[in-house]
Amino acid sequence: MKNNINHIMGTLYIIVGTCAILFFGMGIGLFMGQNLCDIGKLVQAPYFDDYTEIIKSKTIEPVTELDIEIPLDLEVEVSGMTIPEQIRQIAQEQDFIDEDLLVNIAYCESSFRKDIRGDNGHSRGLFQINDIAYPEITDAQAFSISWSTNWAIDRIKAGQEYKEWKNCMRKIEDYI
């Protein structure tokens, strides 16, 4: 995908550069009293033929199949909401009243970076779900905003917030 974007950008630079040369050349020619036919004589045709060949060689084939993983919470991500807003919305949908606690834990654990890893790569996502403690939880689940928020709500409802996020709970208590 990155290579395709580079090809597109390179092609655009060539086109823009070619147009700039043409317009700049026409401006000089007109300023010096030459007509447009004379301008074509000043610029050698092979120069433009080379660029035409380059542009033709940079044609990008359509992508028919992508090898990407669609996140579990794609419908939420495209809503335009910030991660704290998404956490609050999920909490409201679950009738969980302590939205602030969820948002504070997510901020403390990950600074709202849903794709972050900690603890030497063992803790994942907004709520830093540890794969050693919870091997049954997949990376896709741990990195999903909706799944991990629902998991965090369940852990808090079970009275496990100090077990899961001991250091953050201390910081949150000190702050409150």
Average of pLDDT values for 37-49?
48
CA separation for the pair 69, 129 (Å, rounded) = 20
Q: Is it the case that residue 165 has pLDDT exceeding 60?
A: yes
Looking at residue 16, its pLDDT comes to 46
pLDDT > 70: percent of the chain = 55
* Topology adopted by domain 74-175: Lysozyme (1.10.530)
Domain positions in the chain are 2-57, 74-175
**pLDDT-based confidence at residue 175 (cuts at 50, 70, 90):** confident
Q: How confident is the model at residue 137 (pLDDT cuts 50, 70, 90)?
A: very high
- Predicted pLDDT of residue 20: 46
Q: Is the pLDDT of residue 33 over 70?
A: no
pLDDT reading at 142 higher than 80 = yes
| pLDDT tops 60 at residue 83 | yes
Confidence of residue 90 (pLDDT cuts 50, 70, 90): very high
How many C-beta atoms surround the C-beta of residue 60 within 10 A? 11
pTM beyond 0.85: no
Cβ(109)–Cβ(128) below 8 Å: yes
Cα–Cα distance measured from residue 12 to residue 8, given in angstroms and rounded to the nearest whole number:
6
